[in-house]
Structure formats: C-alpha cells, structure tokens
Amino acid sequence: MIPIAKKRKNGEGTLRLRKDGRWEGRIVVGYNEKSLPITKCVTAKTKTECSTKLEALKEQYGRSSDKIKPDMPFGDWIDFWYQTYCRHTLRITTRTDYENRIYNHIIPEIGKIPLNRMSQSDLQQFYAKEKTDGRKLHAKTYGKGLSDRTIRGIHANCRTALQRAVQDGLIRTNPAVCCKLPPKKAREMQVLTQNEILRFLHQAKEEGYYELFLLELGTGMRRGEILALKWSDLNFATGELRIERQVYIIKAEVIISAPKTKASIRTVILPPSLLKTLVAYKETVDSEWMFPSPTDNGRPRNPSSVRKRLQLILERAGCKKVRFHDLRHTFATMALENGMDIKTLSAMIGHVSAETTLNIYSHITDTMQRQAAVHIDRKIGGTDARMPTEKREERKDTSPIEFTPYKPKIRKPGTGCVTMINGHLYEGRYTPTNAYGKRESHNIYAKTREECEDKLAEMIVQVKAQIKAEKEKMTG
C-alpha cells in the first residue's frame, strides 16, 4: 500500500515515492521570466535518506523553515516575502520599484526590528523620517524628502508583507493597518488647446517628429505602445492598427514586452487623413519599426529621448509644459467633446473598463451631461436656458495663429550642449579632452534654459583654464 503524503507547508519542498521505488525530494528555488518555477531535486532509496538530502538542498538553495520565526528580523521577513511570494509575479519595471523600496529604504531603516515586535508607532516614525530625509540620490535637485507617492508605495509593501505574516500565524495583527499616510493626489491633467496643437504640430514637423505626435494625438496611445509599433501592425487597406507590444527602459536599456493588461492589446481604426500621412511617411523609413532609433534603425526609439524632445518642441512652439501622457488626455478630451461614447473611448485607449475612463474624465462627461440636459429642456419645455461650457470654451482658443516654427541652431564646437531633463530642470554638459588625452564630462544644472546657458559658459571657461594649467604643469 502506497502511503498518502501529508500536505507540507510553503518552502518545505515535497517528498514522493516514484514508480521505480525510489524516493524523490523537490524544492522550488526561484522563478524564470515567464513566472514558471525553477526546481531542484534529490533522490534516495529510503524516505529518511531522501528527507535528509532534501534538508541539505534547502540549506544550499532555499530557506529552511526553521528560520521563519515570529521573532525573526523584519528585514529578513520582508526579503523572504518578496522573494517567495512576489518577485516571480511582477513585471520587470514593478520589480525594480519593489526592490528599491525594500532594499534601499525599508530594510536599512526598520529591518532590525523583530517581526513580532513591529508596532504602528515604528512604522509611523519611519514614514515621517522618509518624508523629510529619505532620498538617497539627487537630494540637491529634488529635495531631501521622498514624495507622497513613494511613501504610499513603501507602506503598501510593509502592509502586504505583514499581512502575509498574519496569515502564516507569525503575528496576531497587522500593525500597518491603521497608519496615517500622505493624501493620495492624482497628477493634474492638462490638455492642449486647439491653437497649441497646431503650433505644436508645426514645430514637430520642423524637427522630424510630426508623424509620431500626429499619430499620438489621433489615437491616444501610451508612449511605450506607440514606440513599439511595427509597419506590419498597420493594415494600409483597412486602416486597422494593431497594438500588441510596448517598450520601456530598465537601467538605460530599451526592453520590448507584451502590454501590462489584456485590454491594452487592441485594434484601432485610423482616420483616412492620418493613414494617408503614414503612407507617405513609410517611404522615408527603412526599418521594420514605425519610429526607429536615429542611431540604430533595427531598434525602436528610446522613450526617454522622446520625452525630452517633447518638452523642447513644446517650449519652442510656445505651448504650456505637459507630459507625454497629457497628449493622451488631449485626444480623449477631443473625442468626448466630439461625441464619442465612453465605452468606445475606453476600448480605444486600452482601459480595463469603462469605469476607469469615467473616473479619469468625469469633469468632461459631467459638463457634457449638463449640456445635454439643457438641450432636452429646450426641446421639451421650449426654454432658452443656457449652460456654461467653460471646459470646452477654454480649449477653443480662438485667437489668431501667427506662428513661425523655430529652426534649431547648430551649436559651435566647444560650446557644450543644454538638455531639458524634466519640466523644471535643465542640464548643461561640456565634454572636452583633458590634459591626459581622455574625454571628461562636466555637468551643471539650472531651472531655466537661460540660466543654464550662463552657468555652462562660466563652467567652460573654468574647465578650459584648468586643462591649460594641468598641461603647463605636465610640460613644465
């Protein structure tokens, strides 16, 4: 009679009797990029011998269950929780965020506190400290404290890890449940006016980005989705564009992957005028990618370079500073104002449900509903009531357009370069050959382009003088 195996706890591995009469022990030592388990196994003639070998295997590759105790350090527990329960279920970008919060903030600050002695006060003091003095990098640029969003992310990791400890019977209650957190603030949505769109597209055409941004304003795709398009995704006969991949950056490397949700895999129909523009544009592109990298047409364009170019085009076109994602908001706003229903818009921009779309664009739909109510009242009651339409009037921007696209100047050699890093920071870079014959980069930062140019000029003078002095010292 074959013995019935008892259910073993997570992390203990499995023991089974094989058909050939030998015992096999197996543990999961990790997960691959497809979230499939990676296992190691041992075999023996007897169950006792196999169990002994399995314990040795767990010590070598896994985590012995006797190390998981109520009084273990919280840092060890959250590391175990992440590696065992989370890591293999997360996308690479999400994984990077988790690891930054856990290994750079949580473990160094509260990792030594015993798991069963962790209190709400410990967590609350930790969050307060991180809010005022928690930033590890670029503190001079962005301030010493972490953002509200990062604090909430740190709390989410702590709370989920502690809840798992409750489920596993290591602690009785979750101390993170009643912690007070910074308010959840949605980023302010901005949309371009009609005149801003025209100026923006004029400037984009001057700088070779017209087709990319025209397609964005005509479809509302995410940045990673539009940069991952291939010509094979577009049916020129029907105008159907298939969206089934995205690009993003991990440690300065461009990664191509499937979209995050099933709803993001979709097909949109392009307007005839936009399709005609892409037909002409295709004749100028010698790549399978619709928007290839300028330096390697075998790869898609880098998302960071597109973000920087967007800010430069907006500045030169005299438009307000918006994010790439705000171009998506601009498309959605125009679609709703021109009569597209929520369900269609939700499917077109790849939201999981129409409820998500309603929550994001409630201010627009509320205005449209009030306008519809007035129109119905006019038809039924014969009244002449008028409903204010501030939201739409703001976007009309009927002032005349007198705009000449800015033609970028070619900088002279030895004057460095200025780059917009984000909406409130510019970087000046000068990379001369030093006294030892090697290229050496020097950087300065400022809040405006003019200030950055002034600082850059001063720095170039100083660096040149320093290089000259070092050369004279070497020859003297």
pLDDT tens, N- to C-terminus, the chain (476 residues)? 444 445 455 556 788 898 888 999 988 776 555 556 778 889 999 999 998 888 888 777 755 455 788 999 999 999 999 988 888 888 888 888 999 999 999 999 999 999 999 999 999 999 999 999 989 887 777 788 999 999 999 999 999 999 999 998 999 999 999 999 998 876 778 899 999 999 999 999 988 899 999 999 999 999 999 999 999 999 999 999 999 999 988 877 888 888 878 889 999 999 999 999 999 999 988 899 999 988 777 889 999 889 999 999 999 999 999 999 999 999 999 988 888 888 999 999 999 888 888 888 877 766 666 666 666 666 675 555 454 444 555 556 655 567 778 776 667 777 888 877 766 788 888 888 888 888 888 888 888 888 888 999 999 999 999 998 988 888 87
The domain in which residue 48 lies consists of 14-29+38-57
d(CA 49, CA 390): 79
Residue 424, domain member (yes or no): yes
Domain shared by 214 and 342, yes or no: yes
Domain shared by 339 and 381, yes or no: yes
Residue 406, domain member (yes or no): no
Question: What is the model's pTM?
Answer: 0.67
Domain shared by 307 and 360, yes or no: yes
Does an H or E element contain 293, and which? none
In total, how many domains does the chain have? 4
Domain shared by 198 and 152, yes or no: no
- DSSP designation for 241: E
Residue 178, domain member (yes or no): no
**What pLDDT is recorded for position 399?**
55
CB under 8 A, 24+ apart: contacts of 306-309? 306/209, 306/212, 306/223, 306/227, 307/223, 308/419, 308/420, 308/421, 309/207, 309/209
Residue 6, domain member (yes or no): no
CATH number of the domain where residue 211 is located: 1.10.443.10
Residue 1, domain member (yes or no): no
Domain shared by 386 and 431, yes or no: no
Count other C-beta atoms under 10 Å from residue 335's C-beta. Answer: 21
Domain shared by 378 and 439, yes or no: no
Residue 452, domain member (yes or no): yes
**What pLDDT is recorded for position 385?**
47
Residue 87, domain member (yes or no): yes
